[in-house]
């Protein structure tokens, strides 16, 4: 049966989530926690986008502001100057690609959609720009990634506190999705916000209980790629966290994630393939 929440309308292009998909990360920032400064020329950017698409990415997520813990937020003018020219080049070279914009500013979101973006990924869940939800509702058929965050990037890791992290994130999603739907938004994607105002223990508890968000009947995105919740446990670094990323991505799929947001597309595609293969052999309960 057709499930509208498993089909995203991305500016007129339909994207199926019947099987999990991959969102490839393209950071244009010099100071991101893992790949800052790597994509500092048009040729490097276009090569990276081409590689991610060839490896199987369904969405390319472009960010121009680092939101790592403790980061100072770049002003809107500089963000736009980084994003718009690059977006134009990517859309011009890869017109069929679905491009997501990682921004918490409604004015940047609107301008990027005008230049070919087909999705908005907001780490603040509308909390850093009071016009974001209204803008999303006005932008016809632009899916919105609603992420949970406690605090802001500057202070979110100072001393995050929860009584029950999964329940509190669920309440947050209920409130925010109700606001979005009431305004007229169509496609919402839930991102629990691993690492955004959460301790390592909070992150693992949240991952273990992520299935509870399925009751809201919106697709779930997992952004675990190379995060400190992996390399702190392994006593390593972001550069050494690929294997750990694959392990946690597999758990996220078991918990109901439909989109994996990653730096490394090919390993994520392999993770999905193996997950789907195992799912074929899960015993079905017979009711008499």
Which residues are known catalytic residues?
227, 261
Q: Which residue has the tokens 């400064």?
A: 37
Pairing of strands 221-222, 188-191: unpaired
The rounded distance, in Å, linking the Cα atoms of 282 and 65 is: 42
The two tokens of residue 132 are 């974001």
Chain mean position to CA 226:
14
Q: What secondary structure, in 3-state letters, does the chain show?
A: CCCHHHEEEECCEEEECCCCEEEEEEECCCCCCCCCCCCCCHHHHHHHHHHHHHHCCCEEEEECCCCCCCCCCCCHHHHHHHHHHHHHHHHHHCCCCEEEEECCCHHHHHHHHHCCCCEEEECCCCCCCCCHHHHHHHCCCCCEEEECCCCCCCCCCCCCCCCCHHHHHHHHHHHHHHHHHHHCCCCEEEECCCCCCCCHHHHHHHHHCHHHHHHHCCCEEECCCCCHHHHHHHCCCHHHCHHHHHHHHHHHHHCCCCEEEECCHHHHHHHHHHHHHHHCCCCCCCCC
């Amino acid at each position: 049966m057709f499930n509208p929440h498993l089909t995203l309308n991305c500016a007129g292009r339909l994207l199926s989530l019947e099987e999990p998909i991959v969102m490839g990360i393209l950071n244009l920032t010099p100071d991101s926690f893992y790949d800052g400064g790597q994509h500092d020329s048009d040729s490097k950017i276009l090569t990276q986008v081409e590689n991610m698409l060839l490896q199987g990415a369904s969405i390319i997520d472009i960010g121009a502001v680092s939101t790592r813990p403790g980061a100072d937020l770049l002003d809107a003018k500089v963000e736009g100057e980084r994003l718009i020219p690059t977006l134009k080049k990517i859309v011009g070279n890869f017109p069929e690609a679905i491009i997501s914009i990682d921004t918490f500013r409604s004015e940047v979101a609107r301008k990027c959609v005008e230049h070919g973006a087909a999705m908005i990924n907001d780490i603040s869940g509308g909390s850093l720009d009071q016009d974001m939800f209204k803008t999303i509702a006005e932008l016809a058929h632009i899916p919105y990634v609603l992420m949970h965050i406690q605090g802001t990037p500057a202070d979110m890791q100072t001393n995050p506190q929860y009584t029950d992290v999964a329940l509190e994130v669920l309440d947050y999603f209920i409130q925010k999705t109700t606001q979005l739907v009431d305004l007229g938004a169509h496609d919402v994607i839930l991102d629990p916000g691993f690492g955004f105002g959460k301790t390592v223990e909070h992150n693992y508890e949240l991952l273990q209980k992520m299935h509870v968000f399925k009751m809201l009947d919106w697709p779930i995105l997992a952004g675990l790629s190379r995060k400190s919740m992996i390399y702190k446990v392994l006593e390593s670094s972001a550069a050494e966290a690929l294997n750990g990323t694959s392990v946690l991505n597999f758990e996220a799929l078991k918990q109901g994630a439909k989109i994996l947001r990653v730096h490394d597309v090919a390993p994520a595609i392999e993770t999905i393939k193996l997950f789907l293969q195992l799912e074929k052999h899960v015993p079905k309960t017979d009711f008499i």
